[in-house]
Structure 1
Amino acid sequence: MIGATGVQGRTERLDGLLREVRRQAGSAAEPDIRRVLDWLHRQTGAQVAVVADDARTVESATADFPSGVLRPIASLLARLRAGELASAVTQAEGLHVRCEGIGPDGPRPVLVVAGAVEPAPETAALIPHTSSVLAMLRQAGDSDRSMRDYQRKARQLRLALLHALMAGGPVLARRMTGGDVPPLLEAGRLRIHLLRCPTADRDRIAQIHQDRSGYHGRDLVVHCPAFKEHLICLVAEDEEDSAPGGRGRPPGLGETLLRLVRDNPRYALGISGVHSLGATAEAYSQSAHALAAARAAPGRVAFYHGQSSLQSLLPAQPAAHWARTLLKPLDSVPRTSADITRLAMTVPRSGVARLLGLSRNTVAAHIRQVEQALGQDLTDVRCHAAVHLAFALSGTATDPPGDDRQPPPALDDLLAVETAAAWAQTLLRPLHSHHRRTLQAWLDTDTDAQQAALRLGISRNTVRAHLRTAEAVLGVDLLTHGTGIPDLVHALHILELRLR
């Protein structure tokens, strides 16, 4: 029988083990098995190890653990690992060895305690307690790893859904879910809220609003693959809820994002117009423009209030004929290369690589194939703008039929129409003349700020300051994603055509 003093002494010794458990339970790190083994070593004077698989695999051990004791007891360890025995006491290499299975079921690791002398009963009783604590910590670690794996896979699926939607494929996006269709794909329309926040906040924001399915209720939050400080938030819109903050549905993710920006000076938010699911790429482009404007906007929030797109103002049949002719050589390249290039029109190449799980060299190789087929250098802003416009025209749902036996119109002829001129004048009207000169020089040098500065006789920092101002007053993105560059190339060229 153990006296009161013995019980008190064991309780005091176990308090140290409980403190270690509480410390590790409150940590997000992997369980530190070695600290528990070191605690048992201090209490017993014996050397301790956790053995897995067979007698040759030591997961963790105290500094002076005699590994030679494991070979003679290999068969005993195998029975403990299989769950045939709960514990065992033996002699090996002149040492007293006690073994405890960790956890209830096999296959399981084994706690091995080797000392010069047999421990007193009160000390020996600490060994099964330690085994129970190790089982609990390992189970917690397994749960944490499972949760991290789940979160990673959910993130990958959400990114894949975004990719499918941006490629204009809501049907493909539905098929990718394996039947567990997120409510967003049942919605007819959406807005994209592009949130800029510190990188460390992205996981927290996404996980707070994540449901058990790995989605975000009726919405979807995706980590931007190109910019680590961006969250792409696809917010479903009811048919009757055509304005931000409308009354068609209760407050949701959109309202939460507005509150986050209001309460955090380091946050900014760009919000697109309402689009169909098939126009997700256009919504993303608009949100990028709005985010560029949000940096200088009151409250660091900007809604996209852009005018009609250029492709919607061009004569339909001639424009479609021009686009089909320009893109016709893509029939000779793999569809994957064409799809990757189309995506690279709105997402930086590094982002395309992350989005598709490819290397940047692979993405560049696909784009090179397209460039060779088209005879275009897509690093040239004018070539890029022309191909961007052709993709936009070819992606319209009402691509009108025409007689492609006739020669296609020249791009300059398409851009010479009055509607295009009005569009260009409206787009550029907010710019001061010196900002317009800077913008023209920057585009003439293929967006090389240093070369533009040399051409204008000003500093590179002044060039970038002018571009930042242009972003703010025009509400387009020039320096982050560069999604506003094609429209400005066309707008400046249209006004130049008017002067000829």
Structure 2
Amino acid sequence: MPTLHFATSVPHAGLRFVEDCPSADGDRPLEGVLALVPGGDLEPALAHRHLVVIQRHDPRLGDPAQLTRTLARLKRAQAAAVAVAQPPDASGVPAALRSAGARFGIPLLSISDEPAHWLVLHRALTQEHHAKLVRTTALQREVLDQIHHLGQPDGTQRIVGWLASALHVHAAVVCPGSVVTAAAPADAQDLLRPVHGEIAKLADGGIRSAALDVGGRQVRLFTIGDLRPAPVLALTAPAFPLEANSVVARVLDLLAAQSAVEKTTRAGARLGRGEAAVRQAVLQLLMTGHTTDAQRTAAGIAPGVLDTEECRVFVLKASSRTDRPAVIQQCQDAVGASALVSACPAFPDEVIVVAPCRSTDHDVLDGLTQVAQDAPRRFLGGSCVHRLGDTNQAYLDASRALTVARRIPSRVHLYITEIQLAHVLDVRAWSWSQTYLAPLLGLAEDRRSHLLAALRLGLDFQPAAAARILGTHRNTVARRLGEAADLLGTDLQDIGHRAVLGLALEIRSRRLHRLQPDTEPVEINQLLDTDEVRRWAEQFLQPLRTDRKPLLDTLAAWARANTHVETAATKLDMNAATVRSHLRDAERLLQRRLLIAAPSDADTEPDIAGAHDVVLALATLCDDIVRI
């Protein structure tokens, strides 16, 4: 089992003994880290053999009486040590804590005040504990053939079943609360029901074994492991063979090891869930522009991975939501420490990878491409290079690329390979975007960043999906979208207004023509009225002309109807199903998603992420498409 000395050697944890602490026993066994909620209740059972972290603003540190009671409870719970969370330049631990620690013989340490570092330490302790347990298991396997059941989900039942068969007894493992977790034969728990009171006494501590006679049968009870309350091995038989004692002693070791393995497995699962939550939190911090906070948080799980100015974002769509855990693991294996891998908070079958722009770019892309091509119905979309602070824009690029990837044989597409409208606008674009967005850009930083983040995602995803990506409530996203629309004087229910707003945000995000001198103010129609833009629009819409169906006319009517299919069908004197069929053909030819997701798949598909480019191209070439 790891010790306090081992814990102080874990990199990045910032754990060290308090100087001149008389009770600094570095050989104390240590199982994990327990952080106390400031002013909250202490659950003594959770503190057993744990490093208990007290945060520096915890009111207990300023109340000697309360502090004494807390350390007394930790002493009874057999806590390994107490650590005060504080910054590196802190002057030391309070004198009252030193006095109480010396009084109760509890080692005192200091630890970094970054919660991510506590997670690093807890993970290291769990891994060290598990590693030592595995080594012990390997030795026991050579002694007892039953050792191969350890670690299996039904390991306890198999060991109990073997014991009952070998000794011709009825056996059961009873956990605190009289919960029978394993029994053999099946009626064993019925025979042991009269001694549940004695089993409860053993579980609570005091004695470790007991022998009883109940109704002419012998009953033997043994506690398993060192924890309290403890599970109890209960055996009953008319008489026990002579070899029972030695066999039971070995089986108790096996059951204790099995219990520890199960506990470690549960702890590992919790740790995995915790690390996944931290990765998702880092992603959401990046999505909302909190770059520094994201870098600090990521340092605890992947040191240095976000120490970069620029990044690319990849979105990998798994075959199904049940395939995603395997895809996450494969992505982590493929990129190693070169990128941040996280489950997508919005879509349950997608994985997001944030890759710093370094010399390993090709390795990351090659590795993710291999993961996508390892199984059918997997698709990969990648963004072009963005500043780390514009991760939300990079994510949108990757999502758009993913839409294209789902419509091409290679199943992999990079957004950088496409020419976008923003790229062909002239030097007036930056000035226009700044003027258009001025009511937003003039807000205080915190409010501005929240509204811009909501807009960037809210224009391309439904509010529920945008909220999950940003880590907030859908009502909050809807409120921020409404607030931004009011400030800008735009109608987000109008596809033309949404397209223009999306273009302004993209110009600002990509910082196109930012270094050009100030130009005269222009309207959007003037900005689009250039030969370069018309050539872009002609090239963009050209695939529609290759189809024998009047796809361009259908799209124009659909845009004039503000993307309402039924209205467009009436104007065209067509069936609504025909209009939808034309739109699907246009999706295939333009490699853009146009149809709004149905209620059944609204949580697994973007909204109309491709419609903005189509509307702007149509507005450039056709009259009276939309009023922008």
TM-score over 0.5 (shorter chain) = yes
Q: Deviations over 1:463-491 (max 9, x none)?
A: 44443443343343445423222222222
1:282 counterpart = 2:403: no
Q: Deviations over 1:209-260 (max 9, x none)?
A: 537xx9832122222223233222333333xxxxxxxxx5486231123234
**In the alignment, which residue of structure 2 is the partner of 1:360?**
474
Q: 2: distance between equivalents of 1:132 and 1:258? A: 47
34-43 vs 193-202, which deviates more?
Answer: 34-43
411-420 vs 140-149, which deviates more?
Answer: 411-420
Q: 2: distance between equivalents of 1:275 and 1:326? A: 22
Gaps of 5+ in 1: 1-13, 239-247
Q: 2: distance between equivalents of 1:35 and 1:454? A: 70
Structure 2 residue corresponding to 1:429, chosen from 532, 542, 547: 542
Describe the shift of the 1:379–1:129 C-alpha distance in structure 2 as closer, same or farther (beyond 3 A).
Answer: farther
**In the alignment, which residue of structure 2 is the partner of 1:232?**
352
Aligned-residue offset at 1:370 = 4.1
Aligned counterparts, 1:271-310, within 5 A: 271-304=382-415, 305-310=417-422
The answer to whether the 8 Å contact 2:372/2:378 transfers is yes
RCO (CA 8 Å, sep 6+): is it higher in 1 or 2? 1
Aligned-residue offset at 1:168 = 4.1
SS at match of 1:64: helix
The answer to whether the 8 Å contact 2:275/2:301 transfers is no
Aligned counterparts, 1:408-423, within 5 A: 410-423=523-536
Q: 2: distance between equivalents of 1:40 and 1:379? A: 71
Name the TM-score, length of structure 1 as normaliser.
0.75
Aligned-residue offset at 1:375 = 5.4
Structure 2 residue corresponding to 1:46, chosen from 151, 170, 175: 170
Q: 2: distance between equivalents of 1:289 and 1:78? A: 60
1:171 counterpart = 2:292: yes
The answer to whether the 8 Å contact 2:392/2:456 transfers is no
Aligned-residue offset at 1:331 = 9.4
Structure 2 residue corresponding to 1:79, chosen from 182, 195, 205: 205
Percent identical pairs in the alignment equals 29
Structure 2 residue corresponding to 1:148, chosen from 269, 278, 288: 269
Aligned counterparts, 1:453-472, within 5 A: 453=569, 455-458=571-574, 462-472=578-588
The answer to whether the 8 Å contact 2:393/2:456 transfers is no
One-letter amino acid of the counterpart of residue 541, structure 2: L
The answer to whether the 8 Å contact 2:172/2:180 transfers is no
Aligned-residue offset at 1:98 = 1.7
The answer to whether the 8 Å contact 2:433/2:508 transfers is no
Describe the shift of the 1:255–1:352 C-alpha distance in structure 2 as closer, same or farther (beyond 3 A).
Answer: same
Q: How many pairs were matched up?
A: 459
Structure 2 residue corresponding to 1:350, chosen from 461, 464, 474: 464
Q: 2: distance between equivalents of 1:414 and 1:331? A: 29
Aligned-residue offset at 1:384 = 2.4
Aligned-residue offset at 1:281 = 2.8
The answer to whether the 8 Å contact 2:308/2:357 transfers is yes
One-letter amino acid of the counterpart of residue 556, structure 2: Q
The answer to whether the 8 Å contact 1:69/1:93 transfers is no
452-461 vs 326-335, which deviates more?
Answer: 326-335
Q: 2: distance between equivalents of 1:233 and 1:448? A: 35
**In the alignment, which residue of structure 1 is the partner of 2:96?**
none
Q: 2: distance between equivalents of 1:427 and 1:100? A: 77
**In the alignment, which residue of structure 2 is the partner of 1:266?**
377
The answer to whether the 8 Å contact 1:288/1:476 transfers is no
Aligned-residue offset at 1:159 = 2.3
Q: 2: distance between equivalents of 1:477 and 1:326? A: 29
Structure 1 residue corresponding to 2:453, chosen from 320, 335, 339: 339
Gaps of 5+ in 2: 1-143, 184-188, 596-604
**In the alignment, which residue of structure 2 is the partner of 1:387?**
501
SS at match of 1:302: strand
One-letter amino acid of the counterpart of residue 586, structure 2: A
Name the TM-score, length of structure 2 as normaliser.
0.62
Describe the shift of the 1:323–1:76 C-alpha distance in structure 2 as closer, same or farther (beyond 3 A).
Answer: closer
